[in-house]
Amino acid sequence: MKLLITGGAGFIGSAVVRQAIRDGHAVVNLDALTYAACLENVAEAAKSPNYAFEKADIRDRAALDRIFAEHKPDAVMHLAAESHVDRSIDSPGDFIQTNVIGTFNMLEAARAFWQAQGKPAAFRFHHISTDEVFGTLGETGQFTEETPYAPNSPYSASKAGSDHLVRAWAETYGLPIVMTNCSNNYGPYHFPEKLVPVVILKALAGEPIPVYGKGENIRDWLYVEDHADALLTVLQKGELGRSYNIGGENEARNIDLVRTICTILDEKRPKNAAYADQITFVTDRPGHDMRYAIDPERIRTELGWRPSVTLEQGLEKTVQWYLDNEAWWRPLQDRSGVGQRLGVKA
């Protein structure tokens, strides 16, 4: 297939680009190269004759029309988004513009192209979203695909809005879509403002390791390469119009996740004190959802997909990757806002 992948210079999008190229697909990577982007993430894939890059903004409809007409994709995998909850608290407008208006533009450009092509049945618009659209869970229960939407942050509200647009474009215009909502990802090439890389890099720098509130919030951690595999599975085998939740089957409290990373570092990069001594509890995020957990039943039974690594295995690989790839993360620490506490203005 020829895949038009948006956000392919970001964390998850680049993992999808790398796997798609390995699998023999042709890829057009469409990315505006915002602060969160890094073309080094796809440097190997970019050597392939099957790879093309388009620097474009999904808020620019004319650019999208040109890219569809020029590349004639068989499918779209739409990952481009503003993705950091803390930044959405400080600057919600950027999230509405890219995640809502940008997705609207993608849908309209895809619909115009699909109609002009004679509405090919095999065309797919795959919208990639988050489990945060479902809001927060208490101590028990899991999100299913039928869980009502109840987003709590500007980020999750903007993603919920985009999900509703995608659903409406399928119902109203018949656009052939599939949709996925996944849990928290981690792994190589994770931008150093998100929890897992923040912990690793603060630990290595000998600085306080910030943990929001009491660290009791629970997330269901998904290794990014497993996620990329799941996304390509849903794109190719998912039922038309259906949505799938993707989880890592790895629930952990933030504080336990942070301690596990510290223990891995104690083994891999020993020093005279335990890294866990650097853990510092800081002001909680406003509106911080307590618990997310995915019921993976649908993707497991209908598509036969399960994650390949446990949290311990995935964290071990991730810590090793950051130890081996300082040349990747060091320059990113100079980008705006990285290393600072954001999202406490509310």
Which is nearer to ligand NAD, 10 or 314 (by Cβ)? 10
Binding part of the chain for ligand NAD, among 57-65, 144-152, 304-312, 336-344 by CB under 6 A, reads 57-65
Position 126 contacts ligand NAD (CB under 6 A): no
Place of tokens 């993603």: 159
| CA dist., res. 228 & res. 243, Å (int) | 16
- Across 84-167, the runs of DSSP E, i.e. the strands, are 124-130
Position 163 contacts ligand NAD (CB under 6 A): no
Catalytically annotated residue among 57, 131, 193, 251: 131
Interacting residues with ligand NAD between 312 and 331 (CB under 6 A): none
Using CB under 6 A, pick the residue from 3, 17, 31, 152 that binds ligand NAD. Answer: 31
Q: Give burial (CB, 10 Å; 0-12/13-18/19+) of 241.
A: middle
Which is nearer to ligand NAD, 45 or 182 (by Cβ)? 182
The strand pairing partners of 27, in sequence order, are 3, 51
| CA dist., res. 298 & res. 213, Å (int) | 33
Place of tokens 């603060």: 202
Catalytic annotation on 284?
no
| CA dist., res. 26 & res. 17, Å (int) | 9
- Site map (CB under 6 A) of ligand NAD, residues 93-112, x = contact: -----x---x----------
Binding part of the chain for ligand NAD, among 54-62, 66-74, 169-177, 328-336 by CB under 6 A, reads 54-62
Position 27 contacts ligand NAD (CB under 6 A): no
Binding part of the chain for ligand NAD, among 32-40, 200-208, 266-274, 282-290 by CB under 6 A, reads 32-40
Burial 123-134 (b: 16+ CB within 10 A, else e): bbbbbbbbbbbb
Binding part of the chain for ligand NAD, among 1-9, 108-116, 257-265, 334-342 by CB under 6 A, reads 1-9
Interacting residues with ligand NAD between 277 and 316 (CB under 6 A): none
Q: How far is CA 114 from CA 107, 124, 174, 222, 236, in A?
A: 10, 9, 10, 33, 18
Position 220 contacts ligand NAD (CB under 6 A): no
Q: How far is CA 121 from the centre of its chain?
A: 28
> Which residues, other chains included, contact 3 with Cβ-Cβ below 8 Å and sequence gap of 6+?
20, 25, 26, 27, 28, 73, 74, 75, 76, 77, 235
Q: How far is CA 229 from the centre of its chain?
A: 13
Position 37 contacts ligand NAD (CB under 6 A): yes
Position 81 contacts ligand NAD (CB under 6 A): yes
Run of H or E residues at 278: none
Q: How far is the CB of 182 from ligand NAD (least distance, A)?
A: 5
DSSP-derived 3-state class of residue 244: strand
| CA dist., res. 123 & res. 121, Å (int) | 6
| CA dist., res. 247 & res. 13, Å (int) | 17
Catalytic annotation on 132?
yes
Catalytic annotation on 316?
no
Position 191 contacts ligand NAD (CB under 6 A): yes
Catalytically annotated residue among 54, 132, 163, 225: 132
Catalytically annotated residue among 51, 155, 212, 244: 155
| CA dist., res. 178 & res. 75, Å (int) | 11
Q: How far is the CB of 71 from ligand NAD (least distance, A)?
A: 15
Which is nearer to ligand NAD, 83 or 278 (by Cβ)? 83
Catalytic site positions: 131-132, 155
Interacting residues with ligand NAD (CB under 6 A): 6-7, 9-13, 31-34, 36-37, 57-59, 79-83, 98, 102, 128-130, 159, 182, 184-185, 191
